[in-house]
Amino acid sequence: MSKLMISVSGMRGVVGDSLDPLLVLKMGNAFGRWVGNRTVIVGGDTRPSHAMVKSAIVAGLTSAGASVIDIGIVPTPTVQQAVRFHGAAGGVVVTASHNPEQWNGIKLMNASGSFLEPAEYTAVMAAYADTFLENKGWNGVGLVQTDSESISRHVDVIMDALDCRGLADSKLRVLVDVNHGAGAVADPILFEKLGMQVSFLEAAPDGHFAHEPEPLEKNLSALCAAMRSGNYDIGFAQDPDADRLVIVDEKGHFIGEDYSLGLCIDYILKTVGGASPQVVVNLSTSRVIEDIVTRYGGTVTYTKIGEAHVTQGLKELQAVVGGEGNGGVIYPKVGWGRDSLVGMVIALKYLAESGRSVSEIVATYPRYVMLREKQALATSEALHNQLDMMKTVFSDGVLDVQDGVKAIFPNSWIHLRPSNTEPIVRIFVEAPTADAAHSLLDRAMYA
């Protein structure tokens, strides 16, 4: 049996195995008790189990007295926008993000439209752990309404925050691999409002992913091949809930998740002006972000892994922009979460205003090689021993232990931590060359 994953990132499991309607209903009821007799926004991606999971969530929420506004199939950041628009007490997204289609789950949001902060998460989980289920009488059950305009309003917010005049005249040729996810619903609305022509790969919004849904290079061969035709200026790929974005250049080269984030941060810092801009990213994000931010006299703050931690850092520091190295751009002028629609608009504006290609822009950034490895999650005791081993083996580096162990060297680093979303341990390594990166990895693997 697969393991049900519950963390600050939400709840995820394999449908019909570790995730069942009763568990989802229980979480919905716990969240409903936490928000009280107020309104919760519910939406989600295109997975085949969407309706089942959403029905259980809605049943749990309304049985606890919370009312629901169902916004349908939408990107995760659209739920965040809808929370703010409706003045709701929170939001629930039915998604397993980048996990395969047999998985589903839920993400929980607070009234600011960001993911739960640690104290909020602790309170909701205390209610979830309680065997009590709130069961309001017929006159106390929450109401359910629908809203079909949430994506359109989300796009309007983006266009208000980012002056999009001129994009329609840029004649940029765009290709997007939506891979049967929520982007298949949202992107046509975005590009119609931008007045731009766009082509799509795998455009049916049915959740039957044509390739592994995480937007990694190994999963994007069709997009890269199509870009090599020379018919497009930029290629984009989104994950199923359309919060993550990666870029493929005009030659069909996958530029990398971190470099996709870096390109967007570069543009924002180039346009906002001001001294010493603050940028927030997570610990496993490439050093290229720091290189870019340093050009503008700015400072990078690193947080624990997880969108909620990055968002909290952005709020505390009043940072200009941030995100995660997996291709997640967070632009506070639009919202408190990763948003692939924002990322696409920023990248398109950079190309249109600079007159440069993606490959020309990326060529100005220092190059690093990043290795991403994962291992089956060991017992808690074994994990503890592994982290202690990391501290010993890499005692010659600067150690950051706020999330696992990260050893930092002058031009390289290695980070080992348990995953929040899968039953695995993740190992990230970055160095200027492949040999140097593998050398660091070997030190960890064969210690």
pLDDT of 423 strictly over 80: no
What is the share, in percent, of the chain residues with pLDDT greater than 70? Answer: 99
Query: Does the structure show a pLDDT above 90 at 204?
Result: yes
Binned at pLDDT 50, 70 and 90, residue 447 comes out as low
| Entry pTM | 0.94
Residue 382: per-residue pLDDT: 75
| CATH code matching the domain that covers 5-150, chosen among 3.40.120.10, 3.90.260.10, 3.40.50.920, 3.40.50.150 | 3.40.120.10
Query: What are the structural domain ranges in the chain?
Result: 5-150, 173-362, 369-445
Q: Are 101 and 23 a contacting pair, CB within 8 Å? A: no
Q: What is the CATH number of domain 173-362?
A: 3.40.120.10
Query: Looking at the predicted structure, is the pLDDT value of residue 377 above 70?
Result: no
At residue 378, the pLDDT reads 60
Is it the case that residue 1 has pLDDT exceeding 80? no
Whether the predicted pLDDT of 425 surpasses 90 = no
Q: What is the pLDDT of residue 408?
A: 96
Q: Residues 10-53: pLDDT tens digits?
A: 899 999 999 999 999 999 999 999 999 999 999 999 999 999 99
Q: If pLDDT is split at 50, 70 and 90, which confidence band does 223 have?
A: very high
- When pLDDT is cut at 50, 70 and 90, the band that residue 326 belongs to is confident
Residue written as tokens 């919905």? 28
CA distances from 139 to 67, 328, 411 (A): 12, 43, 63
Tell me how far apart the alpha carbons of residues 152 and 185 are, in angstroms, rounded to a whole number: 11
What pLDDT is attached to residue 198? 97
| Strands ordered across the beta sheet of 412-418 | 369-376, 424-431, 412-418, 405-409, 398-400
Q: Do domains 5-150 and 173-362 have the same CATH topology?
A: yes
Closest CA to 414 of 424, 396, 423: 396
**Per-residue model confidence (pLDDT) at position 446:** 73
Where is pLDDT greater, at 167 or 131?
A: 167
The pLDDT value given to residue 424: 80
- Angle (CA) 254 281 94, round 5°: 75
The fold for domain 369-445 equals TATA-Binding Protein (3.30.310)
Per-residue HEC secondary structure of the chain comes to: CCCCEEECCEEEEEECCCECHHHHHHHHHHHHHHHCCCEEEEEECCCCCHHHHHHHHHHHHHHCCCEEEEEEECCHHHHHHHHHHHCCCEEEEECCCCCCCCEEEEEEECCCCCECCHHHHHHHHHHHHCCCCCCCCCCCCCCEEECCCHHHHHHHHHHHHCCCCCHHHHCCCEEEECCCCCHHHHHHHHHHHHCCCEEEECCCCCCCCCCCCCCCHHHCHHHHHHHCCCCCCEEEEECCCCCCEEEECCCCCECCHHHHHHHHHHHHHHHHCCCCCEEEEECCCCCHHHHHHHHCCCEEEEECCCHHHHHHHHHHHCCCEEEECCCEEECCCCCCCCCHHHHHHHHHHHHHHHCCCHHHHHCCCCCCEEEEEEEECCCHHHHHHHHHHHHHHCCCCEEECCCCEEEEECCEEEEEEECCCCCEEEEEEEECCHHHHHHHHHHHHCC
In this predicted structure, the answer to whether residue 80 has a pLDDT above a threshold of 90 is yes
CA atoms lying within 13 Å on the CB side of residue 180 = 14
CA distance 189 to 192: 5
| Whether the predicted pLDDT of 345 surpasses 80 | yes
Cα–Cα distance measured from residue 440 to residue 447, given in angstroms and rounded to the nearest whole number: 11
Q: Two tokens at 184?
A: 């298949």
Main-chain phi, psi angles of 65, to 5 degrees: 100, 0
The 10s digit of each residue's pLDDT in 124-150 is 999 999 988 999 999 999 999 999 999
Q: 354: pLDDT confidence band, cut at 50, 70 and 90?
A: very high
Backbone angles phi, psi at 130, to 5 degrees: -70, 135
Q: Which residues, listed in sequence order, are joined to residue 282 by a DSSP beta bridge?
A: 303
Active site residues: 97
Residue 379 has pLDDT above 80, yes or no: no
Cβ-count burial of 44 within 10 angstroms (0-12 exposed, 13-18 middle, 19+ buried)? buried
